[in-house]
Chains A and B, each alone.
Chain A
Amino acid sequence: MLNEGKIKVQICLGTTCFVMGASKLQDLERMLPPEWKDKVDISAQTCLGMCQNPDSGFIKAPFVKINDEMIGEASVEKVIDKLKELIVV
């Protein structure tokens, strides 16, 4: 990852994602190591549109988008693992 700009983390706090587990992701910012603070830009979104994919979309909720990559069944651990990859490289 080129070290220009910050890594964009969009957490979906839309209704489907929230009910299916995103409420935990509200804590993400606090759980990041302090030295990452100026490397990531976390924002909350309402519905990234993924849950409306035909039929089974809600099962993969909650969704988090990191830069251009969509992560399904997202958890704080999953997001941190992904960020580790991006930040270390």
Chain B
Amino acid sequence: MQTEVNTVLLRREVMVRLIKAFLSGDFLKQADGVPFDMRPKHAEVPFRCCIHKERAILRERAIAALGGSIEEDDDKTHLSEYAARALERERPDETVLTVIDTACQGCVPSRIYVTDLCQGCVARPCTTACAFGAISIKNGRSVIDGEKCKSCTKCMQVCPYSAIVKIKVPCEDACPVGAITKNGSGHAQIDVSRCLSCGACMASCPFGAVAEKSQMIDILRAIKSDKKVVAMVAPAVAGQTPASINKVASGLIKAGFDIVMEVAQGADITAKTEAKDFAERMEKGDQFMTTSCCAAYREMVKKIAPELKPYVSETETPMHYTAQLAKEKYPDCITVFIGPCVAKRKEGLQDRFVDYVMNFEEMGALFVAMSIELAQCDDYVFETQTSKQARNFALTGGVAESVKVASGGKVDIRPTCVNGLNPKVVREMMMWAKKGQCPTGNIVEVMACEGGCVAGAACLNNKKIAARNVAAYADKAEDIKPD
């Protein structure tokens, strides 16, 4: 997914400023100033129509960064009030995404459109390709009747000049389940009863109009308290910065965490449990089983495709097992999962062992705000060794492979991957459930993001480089030992 575009950098700058504000001791007042500090009087207006609109949008970005809902905002509540609420709340909000409607462009509705490249040719294949009679020729040009057009794209495919295009609404186009659509005023709106919290819309919007409700202030409060705070870093962390995972862990200690655990530790448990589950199911005569660690996929089964439920492994996720281990070892601790994923925030809210979730971007912002240079950090020594396969959970194919190795060659296991969710794949998977069979394998790894967790919506590094780094770190470890 996209990293480092302007919208991402704006989001990070807002976050850095709010963390600095929290640490300054004058949080409320400084929080109020963020939009004005970023766009002071007479400053250049880089993106929008005027400085006031820029500030209004920055204010809404800050509301999300403080964990608030823009849907409930009344435009006049001061950021200091949102900051004060963040200092008092017991629990972060249940829905994890919010639409910054001031930022939303209200992109033109998706439709098939004839551009002026149309030559009004004699063959006119578009008119015959259309099964709905939606195309006619007017003034020597092809014209589409919007009432009749079903957006089947047949005309697009046959035009010899590529003159017909599909106008897309980026967020709608990215959503695998049709959960984001435009409301009456033309702005995007998320249907929470369908939303998987996968973050695809957030990553795709060119205006940065979809935002996560951050738990950063809650986490900073936890760090300030006298409780032990455990940072649990997802396997994808190994690819996020030029510094090693051990230095990142030391950086987190500098930032105030007490202990750092690799979520790969929980991934080892997931792999073994899943291998057992798989063997039992095959014994029983099942034709396939899907993995269960992708949070967006879990939501998809719950909300969109309950017919898949019987085929999903009962195994808990690496985050869950890691948090459980943390709570057993340090009974009164506060657990913070740190990962690339928007959906994990949702999962974290539902998991009794996970207190907070922070994404990699927020982790980066924390380092910036506290001036922590990772290159100068020590090499943190993790208490538990993790396996090669567990470290590879962040890559597409990694989870299925781990189940295979953890099975120790005892069963016939044919891994196959759903590498990225989209409407077509979702439909296909529903067919597998109907037939009780998957044509390509018997253990189906499902990851909502194409490429795996290293391509999550809240990453710091380019996904190719990140994948390389993760694999290199995995190669240093030993293979998982089958039980």
Contact = CB atoms under 8 A, between A and B. Distances in A.
B4 A24 contact: yes
Interface string B219-252: 0000000000000000000000111000000010
Interface residues of A, number: 19
B373 A16 contact: yes
Contacts of A21: 4, 9
A23 B243 CA distance: 12
A75 to B, nearest CB: 9
B248 to A, nearest CB: 9
Contacts of A14: 373, 375
Interface string B1-21: 001100001001100100000
Given A21-B9, A23-B4, A23-B460, A15 B365 contact: no
Interface string A19-53: 11101101100000000000000001011000110
Given A13-B242, A26-B462, A19 B3 contact: no
B367 A16 contact: yes
B462 A24 contact: yes
A23 B462 contact: yes
A24 B459 CA distance: 13
B374 interface: yes
A18 interface: yes
Contact of A15 (B4, B9, B374): B374
A21 to B, nearest CB: 5
B3 A23 contact: yes
Contact of B367 (A19, A44, A59): A19
Q: Is the interface of B mostly helix, strand, loop or mixed?
A: helix
A47 B367 CA distance: 13
Contact of A19 (B376, B460, B462, B465): B460
A20 B462 contact: no
Contact of B371 (A16, A24, A26, A27): A16
B410 to A, nearest CB: 42
Interface string B367-381: 110011111100000
Contacts of B462: 23-24, 26-27
A15 B251 contact: yes
Nearest to B243: A15
A46 B244 CA distance: 13
Contacts of B374: 15
A20 B368 contact: yes
A26 B242 CA distance: 10
Contact of B368 (A13, A24, A58): A58
Interface in B42-72: none
A76 B101 CA distance: 31
Interface in A49-88: 51-52, 58-59
Given A23-B4, A24-B462, A26-B465, A15 B375 contact: yes
Contacts of A23: 3-4, 460-462, 465
Interface in B427-483: 460-462, 465
A47 B375 CA distance: 9
A10 to B, nearest CB: 14
Contacts of B367: 15-16, 19
B208 interface: no
Contact of A46 (B9, B251, B361, B373): B373
Query: Which A-B residue pairs are the 9 nearest by beta carbons?
Result: A19-B364, A46-B375, A24-B4, A15-B374, A13-B242, A16-B368, A21-B4, A15-B367, A15-B373
25 contacts: A14-B373, A14-B375, A15-B241, A15-B368, A15-B372, A15-B373, A15-B374, A15-B375, A16-B373, A18-B241, A18-B242, A19-B12, A19-B361, A19-B364, A19-B368, A20-B12, A20-B368, A23-B4, A23-B465, A24-B3, A26-B462, A47-B373, A51-B371, A52-B371, A58-B16
